[in-house]
Chains A and B, each alone.
Chain A
Amino acid sequence: MSEAPSGSEEPEAAGDGMSALAEALRAENAAVYAYEFVAGAAGDEGRSEHGLALASEHKVARTELRQAILDREGSPPAVEPTYPLPSGRDGDTLDDFAVGVENTCAHAALWLTAADDTDLRVTGARLLQQATVRALEWGGELDALPGYETR
């Protein structure tokens, strides 16, 4: 789940915003799927409820990004039938998986902050903050510059 978005992520490539929007929406689609899985797979109520709550939050982001694409006369990427899932179901595995989900969303959001469209930049910066905090909630580490890939 922590795989980087495909294609170039350099600021120049994000100029028109549509590619970055599509990548952010793909990340949100995957996040909704992931958290619905976490909610069902978790053996404890806390993780399950947290997973459900975050699935709802990502659905809100998904709707917002999808609408932003439609408003710009673009075609939202389709939801995939399945997304990668962890093989384990224990708490640590699920936590690590959730951190990876949020890091993927953060990376896509960072790309969106490079859009020429300033509304999209604001959206990207906001989504990046949200993903960063959610990753911390799952036990992730805080990087000095969230969203950038580790070499």
Chain B
Amino acid sequence: MGQAAGGVSRRALLGATVAGASAAALAGCGTVDWYPSDTTPDEHVLRSLLREKERAVVRYETALADGSGPSDLLERVLENHRTHLDALLDALPEDAEPTPPEEDGPPPVAADEDPELGEAPSPSSLRAMEASAAGMRPEQAAAVTDRGLAQLIGSIGACEAGHAHQLDEA
């Protein structure tokens, strides 16, 4: 699943998303100056989500390497997060920088740069992370200008809620 919405491929949907986001950003030019100058509101949210997903991937990889928790489930969840990461990268504007502008936050995370990421998380802490992430998605979906991007964020949040449920049951 995840390849189409309403008969339209996800990639095509997200292509429209990006075009819509760019148009909306141009239309609102001069009124969104609380965002970094080169970053649209939608890109700002996207960058934030990308950083979260990068951290989630590192945490699950660490948990799997440590052997803590149900490995089959952790593998499936990790794969879902990687799918989210790909979808979010696809949603970035074509002319966007591959890494965030400096004023928009820290660069991509690495375990050796963040001590917390180097420690193997317990299933309960992963469950808490998923529940917290899912709880933020409705407001983030409401915060973007592009409707297709809002759908993507809403869907990611639903998957994260599912992860929290599965980790709770495991």
A residues at B contact (CB < 8 Å) = 4, 8-12, 14-15, 106, 109-111, 113-116, 118-119, 121-122, 124-126, 128-133, 136-137, 142-151
Contact assessment for A147 and B155 in the assembled complex, using a CB-CB cutoff below 8 Å: yes
- Which residue of B10, B87, B147, B163 is within 8 Å of A114 (Cβ)? B147
10 A-B pairs within 8 Å (CB atoms) are namely A11-B13, A106-B158, A113-B153, A121-B142, A125-B158, A132-B159, A136-B166, A143-B159, A146-B162, A151-B9
Say yes or no: A146-B158 contact (C-beta < 8 A), given A114-B148, A122-B139, A122-B141: yes
A109, B46: Cα distance in complex, Å: 21
Residues of A within 8 A of B79 (CB): 144
Interface presence of B121 (CB below 8 A): no
Residues of A within 8 A of B152 (CB): 145
Residues of A within 8 A of B3 (CB): 148, 150-151
Contact assessment for B162 and A148 in the assembled complex, using a CB-CB cutoff below 8 Å: no
A122, B154: Cα distance in complex, Å: 8
B residues at A contact (CB < 8 Å) = 1-10, 13, 16-17, 20, 76, 79-80, 83-84, 87, 134, 137-139, 141-143, 146-148, 150-159, 161-163, 165-166
Say yes or no: A121-B159 contact (C-beta < 8 A), given A10-B13, A144-B79, A146-B1: no
Tell me the minimal C-beta distance from B89 to chain A in angstroms: 14
Q: Which 8 residue pairs are nearest across A and B when measured between Cβ atoms?
A: A9-B6, A11-B147, A145-B2, A113-B154, A143-B1, A125-B138, A118-B142, A125-B154
Tell me the minimal C-beta distance from A51 to chain B in angstroms: 19
Contact assessment for B6 and A121 in the assembled complex, using a CB-CB cutoff below 8 Å: no
Say yes or no: A124-B162 contact (C-beta < 8 A), given A10-B6, A11-B147, A148-B1: no
Residues of A within 8 A of B7 (CB): 149
Contact assessment for A148 and B4 in the assembled complex, using a CB-CB cutoff below 8 Å: yes
Residues of B within 8 A of A151 (CB): 3-4, 9
Residues of A within 8 A of B159 (CB): 132, 142-146
Residues of A within 8 A of B138 (CB): 121-122, 125-126, 129
Residues of A within 8 A of B151 (CB): 11, 110-111, 113-114, 147
A38, B80: Cα distance in complex, Å: 31
Residues of B within 8 A of A131 (CB): 158
Contact assessment for B4 and A150 in the assembled complex, using a CB-CB cutoff below 8 Å: yes
A141, B17: Cα distance in complex, Å: 27
